[in-house]
Chain A
Amino acid sequence: DTGVSQNPRHKITKRGQNVTFRCDPISEHNRLYWYRQTLGQGPEFLTYFQNEAQLEKSRLLSDRFSAERPKGSFSTLEIQRTEQGDSAMYLCASPTSGRPGELFFGEGSRLTVL
């Protein structure tokens, strides 16, 4: 258990529906990352928060994706009008207070779009 909690763990939805994932990071850490991972590929960076500010967003992220982190605590990732290509594992990560580049990842939220 890394201390990073993600919900739901699995989500099956129909194309065109909206879905929302939640991440509860390690409480004392002010940075939070979202990644997406498809089968056979490494995790792909989506976005990054420092407290409540979204500091970086991947250019690969379409306008259907939005992420928030109100009050710098938990974060949500919403996908509107889902497409089959959105099927993936969505990972949230919280850095340690030690080494740079050392992230604690949650177990992910697996999305299947039918």
Chain B
Amino acid sequence: LAKTTQPISMDSYEGQEVNITCSHNNIATNDYITWYQQFPSQGPRFIIQGYKTKVTNEVASLFIPADRKSSTLSLPRVSLSDTAVYYCLVGVSFTGGGNKLTFGTGTQLKVEL
């Protein structure tokens, strides 16, 4: 499975845009890029998934360059409630393989007033 590297922590202020970048140099051709959010004492929660270019949903955007060796999760106008750990995952294949998700240590985002 492709390994991911992301910053251990990030700090921001309410109303700012936050971009968390993840490196995945060994991503396989069939792999998706998936991001999860986790609050203390809760299970991870799916945020967004993409394969290439840009994906946007109601909570975030995901930017993936052409070489797919990295991806950037963008959270617009964060609030205190966005304080959480964010995980970048690769290794889930749209061909049906990669049944298990492998989480790294994630990025602890802290949002302050």
Interface of A toward B, CB cutoff 8 Å = 2, 4, 31, 33, 35, 40-45, 48, 55-56, 89, 91, 93, 96, 99-108, 110
Contacts and interface: CB of A to CB of B under 8 A. Distances in A.
B29 to A, nearest CB: 15
B34 A43 contact: no
A101 B41 contact: no
Contacts of B99: 31, 48, 55-56
B100 A45 contact: yes
- Place the interface of chain B in its size category: 20 to 34
Given A31-B99, A107-B41, 16 more contacts: A2-B43, A33-B100, A42-B104, A42-B105, A43-B43, A44-B103, A45-B101, A48-B100, A56-B100, A99-B32, A99-B49, A100-B98, A101-B98, A102-B34, A103-B46, A106-B43
A91 B43 contact: yes
Given A101-B32, A102-B49, A108-B42, A43 B103 contact: yes
B50 to A, nearest CB: 10
Interface string B77-96: 00000000101010011101
A99 B45 CA distance: 14
A104 B42 CA distance: 11
B19 interface: no
Contacts of A106: 43
Contacts of B89: 101
Interface in B11-34: 32, 34
Nearest to A6: B43
B16 to A, nearest CB: 25
Interface string B32-61: 101000000111111001000000000000
Given A42-B87, A42-B106, A101 B43 contact: no
B105 A41 contact: yes
B74 interface: no
